[in-house]
Amino acid sequence: MHRIQKQLLDLIATHKDFGSYSLRKMAEIIGVEGRPQIVKYHLRQLEKDNLIQVNLEEGVINLVKRGRAKASVSPIYSLPVVGSANCGPANIFAETNIEKYLKISSSLLPRNKKSLYALIADGNSMNKAEVEEGKVIENGDFILVDKDLQNYKTGDIVVAVIDGMATIKRFIEDKKHNRIILEADSTEKYMPIIINEGDDFLLSGKVVGIIKG
């Protein structure tokens, strides 16, 4: 067995949350920093040898005994957290940069879990925005975003990426002037963000839930 595969097996056996680490973090731990593809390759080899069961999308790696994976004690889902999104001025954002995983009961998540990611709210410009009954977006909350919900309409709370920066705002479609307005929903006063045709802008999903920080 390859040295790296033995290291990985030992870590999986001794760290119950090892599957929640990013590939980049795993690479750092085993001494191949900056080379996450090496970790991915060896995990796949261990899986082919029926030594582990891997679901990187859900952040789960289980040891396999007698050809069967260890049963999960509870229906826990690992949701990728890709950083922070400022609820005021936009913040640096890259959906592909998974910083960590948020472990949460599946019962607290919408049905379509595979299209979800989480951001940490930074700021107070959406502290009146009620996503779920009795829950508003406050500084430090985990914001659940469904990247597959692309049918945006006025009033939706969205993650907007402007010039490579991200922010959480309420979406307003101004058809009369052929533009989009991103508005705060806060106890404080914030200027709206006006998006005109040709601006470097995209929407990265609708906000569908809040896990209080």
Extract the residue ranges of the chain whose pLDDT is less than 50.
66-74, 88-94
Three-state SS at 159: strand
Dihedral pair phi/psi, residue 60, rounded to 5°: -125, 130
Three-state SS at 122: strand
Architecture of domain 76-211: Ribbon (2.10)
| Same fold flag, 3-69 and 76-211 | no
Torsion of CA 208, 152, 98, 92, to 10 degrees: -120
CATH of 3-69, one of 3.90.550, 2.60.40, 1.10.10, 1.10.3470: 1.10.10
pLDDT at 85: 66
Q: For residue 16, give every residue at least 6 positions away whose Cβ sits within 8 Å of its Cβ, in sequence order, or none.
A: none
pLDDT at 72: 43
**Residues 125-145: tens digit of each pLDDT:** 899 999 887 789 998 888 999
pTM: 0.60
Structure tokens, 106: 């599946």
Say if CB 171 and CB 158 are below 8 A apart. yes
Burial grade of 24 (CB within 10 A; 0-12, 13-18, 19 or more): middle
